[in-house]
Structure 1
Amino acid sequence: MRLFLGYLALAWLGIGGWLLVDPGALANYAGVAALSVNGTIELRAMYGGMELAIGLSALWALWRPRWACHVLFMNGVITGGIAFGRLFGVLAAGSASVYTMSALSFELSAAALCWVFAKRLSGEQHRG
């Protein structure tokens, strides 16, 4: 579980840090581009700042293990919500790119593992 939290931290911090600094990178690999200064700020906030916060929560759980169950639950809810929105988008569009399917694979697997680990930790806390 600690290895998985480390993986989540690296994944979210990496992409969040990158997109905070270079939100234009989304245009190259995801086809998402800002049309104005406000759009660039929004991309930095949602793809940079939010993802950095998610990654920092995983680091926090590594440093303070008593928070791991909460952080895993939160990550499961967030990645599950993103996956739901992405899957809805795929179904509405009737097609998906390699990028979309790769992101969906990460989100679905991360959400599932978060929920499994959170449930396991929750059970241990209630027994112990």
Structure 2
Amino acid sequence: MTRAGLERAGRILTALFGVGFLLLGLRYFADPGALTAEAEVAMPSAKAVMEIRTVYGGMFVGVGLATALLGGRHATVRAALWVLALVAGSVALARLAAIALGQAPDPLFATLLAIEIVGVALAAWILRGLAAGTHP
């Protein structure tokens, strides 16, 4: 694939993941109870609801904005791909560790893990291609 094609693929990938992170963050900020229904995360207190809003809401909004905005510019598309690879890769590794510790994944957990692994693999492939095309 050409350098221009790789950059275009990187912009598309970071836009998709950025919008996905952003929408998840906005959703869980506006409706933290949705996480209870989807992932069985208990929220027994106002403090727990606040934590869901800040981490699942605020952090995901920030990661989404960073990924999408950095990915939209030629000069920062690599940084966006690194953000995507590091965030999705960290979450995927934590999911795999949870499985190794004996927690059986349900369909939602497995689907999210697959999306994260594919995202990391594509980001790494694009970054590698961009690095290979860079000459000093």
Pair 38,107 (structure 1): closer, same or farther in 2 beyond 3 Å: same
Q: Report the alpha carbon displacement of residue 34 of structure 1 after superposing the two structures with TM.
A: 1.8
Q: Report the alpha carbon displacement of residue 16 of structure 1 after superposing the two structures with TM.
A: 1.0
CA RMSD of aligned residues (A): 1.6
Gap runs ≥5 in structure 2: 1-8
Q: Is 1:106–2:115 an aligned residue pair?
A: yes
Q: Report the Cα distance in structure 2 between the residues aligned to 1:62 and 1:76, rounded to whole angstroms.
A: 13
The count of residues paired between Structure 1 and Structure 2 equals 127
What is residue 32 of structure 2 aligned with on the other side? 23
Q: Is 1:127–2:135 an aligned residue pair?
A: yes
Q: Report the Cα distance in structure 2 between the residues aligned to 1:47 and 1:94, rounded to whole angstroms.
A: 21
Q: Report the Cα distance in structure 2 between the residues aligned to 1:45 and 1:84, rounded to whole angstroms.
A: 22
Asked if the contact 1:68–1:118 (Cα under 8 Å) also holds between the matched residues in 2, the reply is: no
Q: Report the Cα distance in structure 1 between the residues aligned to 2:35 and 2:42, rounded to whole angstroms.
A: 6
Structure 1 letter corresponding to 2:106: S
Gap runs ≥5 in structure 1: none
Q: Is 1:72–2:81 an aligned residue pair?
A: yes
Asked if the contact 2:27–2:57 (Cα under 8 Å) also holds between the matched residues in 1, the reply is: yes
Q: Is 1:51–2:60 an aligned residue pair?
A: yes
**Which of the two has higher C-alpha Rg?**
2
What is residue 7 of structure 1 aligned with on the other side? 16
1:92-103 to 2 correspondences below 5 Å:
92-103=101-112
Q: Report the alpha carbon displacement of residue 97 of structure 1 after superposing the two structures with TM.
A: 0.5
* TM-score between the two structures when normalised by the length of structure 1: 0.89
What is residue 69 of structure 2 aligned with on the other side? 60
Pair 62,72 (structure 1): closer, same or farther in 2 beyond 3 Å: closer
Asked if the contact 2:29–2:57 (Cα under 8 Å) also holds between the matched residues in 1, the reply is: yes
Structure 2 letter corresponding to 1:18: R
1:82-97 to 2 correspondences below 5 Å:
82-97=91-106
Structure 2 letter corresponding to 1:65: H
Structure 2 letter corresponding to 1:10: V
Q: Report the alpha carbon displacement of residue 94 of structure 1 after superposing the two structures with TM.
A: 4.2
* TM-score between the two structures when normalised by the length of structure 2: 0.84
